[in-house]
Structure formats: structure tokens, C-alpha cells
Amino acid sequence: MVKRQDRELEVREETEVRNKQWAPPSLLPEIKKQPGWAYRWVRISLANDADNLNVSSKMREGWEPVKHSDHPEVNIPANPDSRFKDAIEIGGLLLCKMPQEMVDQRNAYYQQKAKDQEQAVDNSLMRQNDPRMPLFSDKKSTSSFGKG
């Protein structure tokens, strides 16, 4: 029997470091996120038509435009025709922010709403239950892989 060295003690010699590969640029710039804030791109126009309904609903939810002066690392010229002065706007999208606490509350609201809808469907299904042929409400999901 050959005595081998533990895997943790083995050290590989470093070979040449790979050069950085070119990748197409992202359409939306990266920003430095401030702690306590959540960021989201909000559609303000579609095919050069203003989407006022979407913008107003997002603003009522609590999203507010991010000022370009707050994020000077974003090197994008301001749109002089924009309704949102000093805001970061790219191709019909407006960068907005909301306090993370409000985002968490919003997510909890929609999760509860989804649970309530699921419960309503289950109640409706089980209302049609007959003891002679019971219905089952299995909440398990499985996945299998075919052989091929």
C-alpha cells in the first residue's frame, strides 16, 4: 500500500496566469450601491412613447429617481429633453432607489398575497372532495432525468 500525502497538504505550482478575456459591455452601467437602499431600473418609455402609467405606479410604490450627482461614477451624459432632471436615464430606463426596509415590506406583502391565493385554490379544490374518491393536495414536487 502506497502512503499518499493528504489532499489539503498538496500544493500545485502556479502556471501562467490567464489574460483577461474581452466581453461585450453591459447595456446598463454598474453603480456603487449605498447600504440600506435597493436599486431598480424603471421603464419610462417604450418605443419612444412615454410610459406614464408604469412610472406613476412605481413612484407610488416608493421608488424615487437616483440623482446623477449622487453617483458621479456613472459616466453618461444627461438627456436635455428628459422629464427627470439630474437623473440617470438610459434607453427609456430610469435608475430608481427605495429604502431596503420598504422593499422587504413590499416583498412580504406579495408573498402573503401569493400564499392567500394558493390557500383559496386549495380550499376550492377540497370543497369538491368526496369521501368515496378523496382528492389529495400534494405540495411535493419532484424532478427526474430521462435516460438518453
pLDDT (tens digit per residue) in 104-138: 999 999 999 999 999 998 888 777 777 776 666 56
Q: What residues does 42 pair with on adjacent strands?
A: 94
Of 12 and 61, the one with more pLDDT: 61
> How many Cβ atoms are within 10 Å of 28's Cβ, its own excluded?
13
Percent of the chain with pLDDT over 90: 36
pLDDT at 41 over 60: yes
Q: What residues does 38 pair with on adjacent strands?
A: 98
Q: How far lies 40's CA from each of 8, 12, 58, 93, in Å?
A: 43, 43, 10, 9
Q: For residue 79, give the DSSP letter.
A: P
Span 31-57, mean pLDDT? 92
The per-residue pLDDT for 15 is 63
The per-residue pLDDT for 111 is 96
